[in-house]
């Protein structure tokens, strides 16, 4: 069984850094995708700590210190793809680790800011014959299902992902149950964090779920998401 964990660690992790690493060490995912990763001293400590627990292969952009980006780490070798042309204002918000059977794309999509990232991803997967697993903090979802209201931006791009042959792995496993990965101060729930899988990979999808206790214990304001394939 191969396990892929994706998680928004909130502003680079800060003083929570070593607690985050302890939890990741116990979870023992094979591939970890961290959004809101930040280069700099804290980011270097995080990467070094992850390397010590077996994540020797790492994909990261050259974002300036303090800029939210995506870090992908793996226990086995991976190539890398970066996308400086994806959006003029958000050049470090998506990256990909390349494995023999599939590619894992990590995303951190801006919250209610105009961008071209999801359209870029939709165009990319149509041109590429590779099978992608696209994970991370999308900051959007399907209105009325992934939130009670209708305030999500770029919902139409998620619908295009479906039309392009990509399936929401959580919905594939659990149907239309109401479950959220982030809550506002008012207590409103939103499922911002997603795993979209090339439909060709669906036969090997075994489970897809959240670790809500990590959020509830304030390790971050987002629940990590886990995909199990085998």
Instruction: Identify the pLDDT of residue 215.
Output: 98
Phi-psi region of 187 (alpha: psi -120 to 50; beta: other; left: phi over 0): left
DSSP code at position 204: G
Report the 10 Å Cβ neighbour count for 26: 8
Report how far apart the first and last C-alpha atoms of the chain are (Å, whole number). Answer: 5
Instruction: Identify the pLDDT of residue 177.
Output: 94
Instruction: Identify the pLDDT of residue 39.
Output: 97
pLDDT, mean of each 10-residue run, the chain (230 residues): 98 96 98 98 97 98 95 98 96 97 97 96 97 98 96 97 98 96 97 98 98 98 98
Inter-residue contact 154 to 113 (CB < 8 Å) = no
- Nearest Cα to Cα of residue 224 among 170, 158, 173: 170
Residue partners of 43: CB distance under 8 A and separation at least 6? 12, 37, 60, 65, 71
Instruction: Identify the pLDDT of residue 149.
Output: 94
CA–CA gap between residue 201 and residue 187 (Å, rounded): 35
What is the CATH topology of the domain spanning 2-229?
Deoxyribonuclease I; Chain A (3.60.10)
The reply to whether the predicted model has a pTM over 0.95 is yes
Instruction: Identify the pLDDT of residue 50.
Output: 98
């Amino acid at each position: 069984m191969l396990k892929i964990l994706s998680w928004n660690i909130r502003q680079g992790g800060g003083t929570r850094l070593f607690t985050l690493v302890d939890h990741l060490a116990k979870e023992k995912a094979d591939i970890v995708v961290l959004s809101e990763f930040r280069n700099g001293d804290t980011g270097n400590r995080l990467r070094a700590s992850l390397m010590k627990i077996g994540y020797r292969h790492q994909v990261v952009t050259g974002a300036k210190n303090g800029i939210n980006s995506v870090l992908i780490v793996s226990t086995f070798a991976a190539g890398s793809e970066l996308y400086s042309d994806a959006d003029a204002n958000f050049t470090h918000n998506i990256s990909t680790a390349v494995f023999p059977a599939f590619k894992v794309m990590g995303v951190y999509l801006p919250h209610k800011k105009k961008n071209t990232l999801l359209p870029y991803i939709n165009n990319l997967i149509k041109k590429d014959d590779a099978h992608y697993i696209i994970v991370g903090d999308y900051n959007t979802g399907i209105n009325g299902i992934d939130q009670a209201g209708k305030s999500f931006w770029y919902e139409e791009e998620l619908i295009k992902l479906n039309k392009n042959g990509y399936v929401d792995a959580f919905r594939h496993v659990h149907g239309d149950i109401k479950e959220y990965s982030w809550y506002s101060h008012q207590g409103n729930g939103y499922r911002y964090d997603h795993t979209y899988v090339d439909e060709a990979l669906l036969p090997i999808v075994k489970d897809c779920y959240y670790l809500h206790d990590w959020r509830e214990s304030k390790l971050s304001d987002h629940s990590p998401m886990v995909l199990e394939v085998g």
